[in-house]
Structure 1
């Protein structure tokens, strides 16, 4: 997989994807949507009462899934010191009022990527992103990379070791996706900075 972003000027970017790249990226984003879950309305398509949504309160506990906990971390406290009651209460309060919006943004970003890829008609092609769409893609790529990093138990120290995995290693396909997403993310950052 070699498709990387190029600058189109003014914070916009273009990405040429072959059919396999588009399929893999779409599949990963659909899995991200499933991981994040539907919105408060149940299906994420806006069937909830808009007034009730304004006053909806989110969860107060961090997600049990480590990948979701990485995407929606506690805002306060040291995870190494869970006995800090005051920090735990502050984190719960912060989560209660912010997590639903954060989930909605992450869901919208992933859905935007899926729809962009659907615009290719199931084939490869050129994805053209204006400045706003580029930022949505950047968020969605970051979320995918963070999630795969958690699933692969990647740490800063062992990221370089991922390049040397033997072909028979069961993690190899996920590692290849993780590294490709990192390259995509980096190229998009460079493209929007030009």
Structure 2
């Protein structure tokens, strides 16, 4: 995988992923979309105006630890204010995060990532404008928060993760967490 860079002439943000890396990113983004939509299922047959004016969102923090991390309580000291804030904002925030993850999936598929990978040595060249790159960056944050929450990553625990054997599934998942962090850093660098 090459780091994200900015094309000198066009200004586009570009990177090259192996087929495995691109498929892994697509899988991570798909899992975020699925998680965000799982608890927020809303009937699709509602009137569009009703959907626009619907402020009947959740009033309590999500039970899933990842969702609780993605949607923290806004007013820890005031339950009523926190419930009202969540009711008016969480649905829109969920949709925004799902759309951002969907942008990663769509960009990879537009770049030529097939539905099924059956070819060794396949590489995917991704080229995106600045707005799309910003969306990827936001979604990388969500993916990293989700991975960190599921793994129990904490500040200063690097020694623990590096002490795990390479074949430990937790070490492999942590490697993915770090890789997405590296991708995010190179993307920030390309956008600077």
Range class of TM-score, shorter chain: 0.7 to 0.9
Instruction: Indicate how the Cα distance of structure 1 residues 13 and 161 shifts in structure 2: closer, same or farther if over 3 A, else same.
Output: farther
Is this contact kept in 1: 2:23–2:113, CA < 8 A? Answer: no
User: Gaps (5+ residues) in structure 1?
Assistant: 78-83
Distance 1:110 1:148 in 2: 14
In the TM superposition, residue 114 of structure 1 has moved relative to its aligned partner by: 0.5
Corresponding position of 2:188: 189
| Equivalences, count | 181
Report the equivalent of 1:55.
Answer: 53
The two structures have a TM-score, normalised by structure 2, of: 0.86
Q: Are the equivalent residues in 1 in contact too, given 2:19–2:113 (CA < 8 A)?
A: no
RMSD of Structure 2 on Structure 1 (CA) = 2.0
Deviation at 1:22, TM superposition (A): 0.5
Shift in CA distance, 18/168, structure 1 to aligned 2, threshold 3 Å: closer
Cα deviation, 1:29-78, whole Å, max 9, x if unaligned, reads 111111111666447xxx6422011111210000000000011111111x
Cα deviation, 1:139-186, whole Å, max 9, x if unaligned, reads 111100000000010111214542342113221221111010000011
Residue of structure 1 equivalent to 2:105: 114
TM-score normalised per structure 1: 0.85
SS in 1 for 2:62: coil
Unmatched segments (≥5 aa) in structure 2: 115-121
SS at match of 2:60: coil
Corresponding residue number in structure 1 for 2:13: 13
Which residue does the alignment assign to 1:80? none
**Structure 2 match to 1:72:** 71
